[in-house]
Chain A
Amino acid sequence: KAGVTQTPRYLIKTRGQQVTLSCSPISGHRSVSWYQQTPGQGLQFLFEYFSETQRNKGNFPGRFSGRQFSNSRSEMNVSTLELGDSALYLCASSLGELAGGPYNEQFFGPGTRLTVL
C-alpha cells in the first residue's frame, strides 16, 4: 500500500507570493491533517479535514487555508507569504472512522520544505 505523498518536496518562494501544497493520503484514509514544523515553534497543528469538511483548526492566521477533495486528497494554501512561513509542512492521514475511535494512528508524509526569501 502506497504511503502518504506530498508534492512538491521543496519550494522556494518570495515574500508576498502564495503557495499551494498537496497531500495524497493512504488509500482508504479519510482524515488528513496538516502541521507546520519549525525549529523555534516545533510541530504546530494547522487543520484537519475529514470527508471534505474541516474538523479541527489550529491557531494560524486566515492566510493559511486548506481543503479536501472527494478522493480525500488535500491541499493547503498560504497566501501573502511571510519570511516566518519558512518551515517543513507535514501532512498526515488516518482512517478517521468513528468505529476506529479518534486515536487511530496517523501516517505522515515526507513533508514539503518551504523557503520564503
Chain B
Amino acid sequence: AQKITQTQPGMFVQEKEAVTLDCTYDTSDPSYGLFWYKQPSSGEMIFLIYQGSYDQQNATEGRYSLNFQKARKSANLVISASQLGDSAMYFCAMREGWGKIIFGKGTRLHILP
C-alpha cells in the first residue's frame, strides 16, 4: 500500500540557511510521482516541485530542489537560502499511476530572522 512519511513535525531554521525537509515513501508500483506543496498560514496550497519515478535527474525549481533517492525511497525537499516567507507547512505527496494522491502529515517550517 502506498504510504508517505514526514518525520519532522516542526523545524526552526535561521534565515539564509539551507533547509532539508524529509520525506520517505512506500510503494510497489514502479510508476509514481512525488510532489511537494507549501501551505502558508493563509491556507492555500501551493505546488512547489514534482519528481517522476522514471526521471533520471533530480527536479529543481528556483530555490527548491528535490533530492530523489529511489533505492532508499526518499524524496527530500531542499530549500536553498531560506527566507522569512518560507515559513509555512510543507507537505510531501505521492501518486501511483492514475490512482489517488496521498499526502504526508506535513512539516511546519519556521524561519528565524
| Majority secondary structure of chain B interface residues (helix, strand, loop or mixed) | strand
Q: Which residue of B lies closest to A46 (CB)?
A: B100
* Given A90-B45, A105-B50, A56 and B106 contact (CB-CB distance below 8 Å): no
Residue from A42, A48, A88, A105 within 8 A of B100 (CB atoms): A48
Tally chain A residues at the interface, Cβ within 8 Å. 24
A/B pair count, beta carbons within 8 Å = 54
Let me know if B95 and A102 touch, CB within 8 A.
Answer: yes
- In the assembled complex, the CB of A106 is this many whole angstroms from the nearest CB of chain B, namely 7
Which residues between 64 and 87 of chain B lie within 8 Å of chain A, taking CB atoms? none
Check if A49 is an interface residue, CB within 8 A of chain B: no
Interface 9-residue window, one of A15-23, A67-75, A78-86, A107-115: A107-115
**A contacts, CB < 8 Å to B:** 33, 35, 42-45, 48, 55-58, 88, 90, 92, 101-103, 105-111
Could you list 19 A-B pairs, sorted by A, with CB under 8 Å?
A42-B103, A42-B105, A42-B106, A43-B103, A45-B100, A45-B102, A55-B98, A56-B98, A101-B33, A101-B52, A102-B99, A103-B50, A105-B35, A106-B47, A107-B47, A108-B44, A108-B46, A110-B44, A111-B44
**B contacts, CB < 8 Å to A:** 33, 35, 37, 43-47, 50, 52, 91, 95, 97-106
